[in-house]
Structure 1
């Protein structure tokens, strides 16, 4: 499928979708636009961004840009781009867990109808476990799934235990890349390692498909715990360094400085279930961090841990520089 098909799915969900010379954009939040496809790393001109902000009366924009861009918060994508995948690519510490999951569950494609019917309760359980909250309810969930049912490129896989759907995964292929969109699991089945089995089998199948160059398993989140991404890395996925840039409308940018970031951080701690506050805090934090030179930026916890004494050349961190003096 092409990015335009993905745009059609977003429009069915009621999103505003805009095309500019560098990318597609959609209203991820109130008057905040996110670039897509998610795996694209773009370098838009400043005039293009300003025109988009003014034309859409947007508050802000968010996109991934190359490491040598002049501005943007040090960040990452989680990807798998090797030609083969198997247990040898999984961290030795969890290979036994993957085997256990494969023995305990049956992994394979499931219908969109089943995902719409059973997936919402799994999604709720996952968000609660991660101390996150979604504004959408069950009707919104079912609408999201049904909107993709007749579009090329969308698929859902599940891990079943004794006939019950214990974990699920929705993904979409756009050109030569597969974007993993939603991953859920029931906590009661986590000891059986159903998550490990589902991601392992799906990755193995997708890598073997003709024409698939890369699997994209997420962008560094504004608010999700980094334990989610550490799990992906242990399953063999690679951390691809990028910058994430947040751009605010010129008339509003001065209100999103360090003071606003500190205030929103305190509010997010007081109201952790408020998704609007969490996202606003994340956007402001990325914006402020991205204004600093790379050597003075606060790195994501995952990059700090992998970038210290980490010798694997596939996880290249040429941009992790010595800290500059304040």
Structure 2
């Protein structure tokens, strides 16, 4: 699937999309752009990025090859076409089997999730302490209108307990979100869902890999640990953030780094301060 289809999807979500020589970019935050397709490793020149700062944008973030500038990091990918239960640990195999015993996993229409998935979505965002960047109806209309996006769900009886959204681009399935109901986690719907979808995706010879995000600026999380337990591996990359020249001195200032870190520590429920703390720590560690 051509990256332009993914660009159309982000525009339907309300993002501004920019295309440059090496990549596409969307405003993941106000005046802060992220390169996509997310699995693509790029090394843009200063001349390529210069127009972003003429428009007074705060910065750009992208993933580059292991030998390029930036902070040593990783992407979580699965490329093993032999993917099956025997590649997982005994503990994870047990969770997958228990999940499959309780759940039915199937590809679903976006309209079904739009009608039945709001409680699953809201419950997950409360659990992982992030805010929803999109109105519910806007998101699912964009999914429905985008032929590069697909949805799978795990059901117990008629109850939707978990769902997954992925986009197909350049022979890679990029998993965008996984949502689940807290009250059913003891039935391991996430394990059953991810195992079934991964095995289905990797059985297709036209699919080279499944991508499930890069290392968070906030560091290794329990979410990454779950992905690793399900068969994803850390593929070496370099993450880089290029800031507007006016912003860099402020974010590199040791006093600012300590102040932001203190505020994030005192307000652990604040997504804003957690992310700003991760950004300043990233810049201080040489990622910019």
TM-score calculated relative to the size of structure 2: 0.94
Give the CA deviation at 1:224.
Answer: 7.3
Give the CA deviation at 1:210.
Answer: 3.2
Distance across 1 between alignment mates of 2:132 and 2:107: 28
Give the CA deviation at 1:219.
Answer: 1.4
What are the within-5 Å matches in structure 2 for residues 1-326 of structure 1? 1-54=1-54, 56-70=55-69, 72-130=70-128, 132-136=129-133, 140-223=135-218, 226-257=221-252, 258-291=254-287
Q: Per-residue displacement from partner, 1:203-230 (whole Å, max 9, x unpaired)?
A: 0000012300000011112347611011
Give the CA deviation at 1:260.
Answer: 2.0
Distance across 2 between alignment mates of 1:146 and 1:206: 24
- Equivalent pairs, count: 287
Q: Per-residue displacement from partner, 1:18-70 (whole Å, max 9, x unpaired)?
A: 0111111111111111111111111111221223222x321111111122123
**Higher deviation after alignment, 181-190 or 270-279:** 270-279
Determine helix, strand or coil for the equivalent of 1:256: helix
Structure 1: unaligned runs, 5 residues or longer: 293-326
Q: Provide runs of 4+ in structure 1 moved above 3 Å.
A: none
Give the CA deviation at 1:291.
Answer: 4.9
Matching residue of 1:308: none
**Higher deviation after alignment, 266-275 or 246-255:** 266-275
Distance across 2 between alignment mates of 1:135 and 1:265: 24
1:213–1:185 Cα change, 3 Å: same
Determine helix, strand or coil for the equivalent of 1:142: helix
**Higher deviation after alignment, 119-128 or 39-48:** 119-128
TM-score calculated relative to the size of structure 1: 0.84
Give the CA deviation at 1:154.
Answer: 0.9
Contact 1:117–1:142 (8 Å) recurs in 2: no
Matching residue of 1:316: none
Structure 2: unaligned runs, 5 residues or longer: none
Distance across 2 between alignment mates of 1:66 and 1:259: 32
Give the CA deviation at 1:270.
Answer: 2.3
